[in-house]
């Protein structure tokens, strides 16, 4: 004869086993979040060709001279070099009822420290108002991305930090950040035809990374 206390213990055990089994079946055993630290940046010079119906990028060209006109402009692509520094179950952060979901082909990634500020400074005198070391973000626009990184026009760099943070914390198909934003220069220099910029990113934990584009002559 099983007493009431033993029956209560068995009931609790069975219920716990049942919910654990259901959770395992529905959520795949617990999604993992991989925490990334950005260790460096890479900047790639490109030419953007704007057509009436199509546009395309040219990342390799024979000369460092770019003829800029109504249909051609200089731009650069930013790539993030990262390292996984921590991995934990999504439930540990989000809770059982608000669990972050991912399918079997994606990985949940998040920055160890979000971006606090981004500066884009000219290496050479750009114009009378922007000498060596001046910030020229006002002359740049950024490729705007929607879901699955589909291109959706361009946006100013006024909220560049929040845009980068939004896209760099999310689902990826590899153990690294696949988001590679493109920045367009929309104004020709007037003091020096040689252009190079330095991008510096400062994170909320005070760490920073920076990179410089290769020199390019814009005419």
Q: Which residues, 6 or more positions from 63, have their beta carbon under 8 angstroms from its beta carbon?
A: none
- pLDDT mean over 165-187: 77
Coil, helix or strand at residue 84: strand
Whole-model pTM?
0.73
Task: Give the distance from CA 206 to its chain's centroid.
Answer: 18
pLDDT at 81 over 90: no
Q: Residue 33 and residue 109: Cα distance in Å, rounded?
A: 6
* Confidence category of residue 134, pLDDT binned at 50, 70, 90: very high
Window from 16-25, 53-62, 107-116, 128-137 with minimum mean pLDDT = 16-25
| pLDDT computed for residue 17 by the predictor | 46
**How much is the pLDDT for 132?**
97
Mean pLDDT of 28-36: 64
Residues 6 or more apart from 193 whose CB is under 8 A from it? 217, 218, 219
Does 120 score more than 90 pLDDT? yes
The mean predicted confidence, pLDDT, of the chain is: 77
* Residue in this structure with the two tokens 């055993």, named with its chain if needed: 29
User: What is the C-alpha separation between 110 and 88, in angstroms, rounded?
Assistant: 11
Q: Residue 37 corresponds to which tokens in the numbers above?
A: 């630290």
Q: Which class for 116: exposed (0-12), middle (13-18), buried (19 or more C-beta within 10 A)?
A: middle
* Structure-model confidence comparison of residues 144 and 209, the more confident one: 209
Range 17-32 average pLDDT: 45
User: Where are any strands of DSSP class E within the chain?
Assistant: 32-50, 55-58, 65-66, 72-89, 107-111, 115-122, 140-145, 151-156, 170-172, 182-185, 194-195, 197-203, 208-212, 216-218
**Domain range summary for the chain, segments of one domain joined by +:** 1-28, 31-218
C-alpha 76/C-alpha 188 separation (Å) is: 15
pLDDT of 172 above 70: no
């Amino acid at each position: 004869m099983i007493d009431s206390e033993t029956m209560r213990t068995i009931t609790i055990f069975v219920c716990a086993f049942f919910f654990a089994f259901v959770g395992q079946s529905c959520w795949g055993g617990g999604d993992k979040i991989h925490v990334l630290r950005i260790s460096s940046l890479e900047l790639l010079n490109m030419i953007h060709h704007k057509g009436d119906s199509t546009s395309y990028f040219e990342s390799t060209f024979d000369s460092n001279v770019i003829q800029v006109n109504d249909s051609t402009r200089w731009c650069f692509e930013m790539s993030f070099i990262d390292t996984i520094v921590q991995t934990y179950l999504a439930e540990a952060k989000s809770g059982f009822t608000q669990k972050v979901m991912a399918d079997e082909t994606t990985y949940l990634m998040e920055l160890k420290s979000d971006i606090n500020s981004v500066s884009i400074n000219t290496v050479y005198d750009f114009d009378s108002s922007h000498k060596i070391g001046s910030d020229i973000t006002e002359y740049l626009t950024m490729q705007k991305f929607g879901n699955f990184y589909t291109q959706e026009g361009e946006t100013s760099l006024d909220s560049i930090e929040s845009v980068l943070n939004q896209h760099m914390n999310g689902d990826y198909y590899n153990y690294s950040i696949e988001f590679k934003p493109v920045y367009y220069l929309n104004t020709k220099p007037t003091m020096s035809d040689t252009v190079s910029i330095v991008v510096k990113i400062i994170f909320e934990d005070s760490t920073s990374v920076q990179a410089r584009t290769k020199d390019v002559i814009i005419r």
